[in-house]
Amino acid sequence: MTPDEDDGSDVDEAPIDTLESYFAARGWTHERLGDDEIVGTAPGSWGSYELRGVWRDDDRVLQFLAFPDIRVAEDKRQAIYETVGLINEGLWLGHFELWAASGIVTFRHAAIVEGDEAGVLTVDRAELLVEAALDELDRFYPVFQFVLWGGKSPKDAIAAAMIDTAGEA
């Protein structure tokens, strides 16, 4: 059964198990890093993205992180911090971050998982969690590239990347 065919009734799996099933059904490379963490790789419009799920049982929170292959040199960090701030103003779910220690750009959001003691994450909810992250990475990847490599200001990069096209080529 693929995630598209699933009825969302697999409520007996722990959140990391559900993510593992979802990654496997998509044919994505993945690895468990213990009972509470999984890392995988998913294709995106601009390359492969690393995906990471971390379950915090005490808080009943599934932290979901997605990493494009973007590392920011020290001299570009101020511009990327501004870019991240402007992007995040318009997001409804999740947010971008620039990790100061490593210069890595990431997209992160979390889900509070209610239910029995094992925590319940249906395949449908896992799909929404993952696809929301992938959609935002694909949508904003060009913005980061315009700032880092194109010499655009954060505002100009967002304006250039967010142009809606009409018709077909």
83 part of a folded domain: no
Per-residue model confidence (pLDDT) at position 10: 43
Buried-exposed string 9-37: b where 16+ CB fall within 10 A, e elsewhere: ebeebbbbbbbbbbbebbebebeeeeeee
103 part of a folded domain: yes
**Residue 144 in this model has a pLDDT that exceeds 60:** yes
153 part of a folded domain: no
Show Cβ contacts of residue 37 under 8 Å, excluding neighbours closer than 6 positions: 16, 52, 53, 54, 55
**Residue 4 in this model has a pLDDT that exceeds 80:** no
DSSP 163: P
**Residue 53 maps to which CATH number?**
3.30.1460.10
Per-residue model confidence (pLDDT) at position 162: 82
Domain tally, the chain: 1
Domain span at 133: 15-73+93-139
Tell me the per-residue pLDDT of 110-133, one tens digit each, with 9 for 90 and over.
998 876 555 578 888 899 999 999
- How big is the chain by its Cα radius of gyration, in Å? 17
Contact 158, 83 (CB under 8 A): yes
**Residue 7 in this model has a pLDDT that exceeds 70:** no
Per-residue model confidence (pLDDT) at position 149: 94
145 part of a folded domain: no
58 part of a folded domain: yes
Per-residue model confidence (pLDDT) at position 71: 95
Tell me the per-residue pLDDT of 61-89, one tens digit each, with 9 for 90 and over.
999 999 999 999 999 999 999 999 999 99
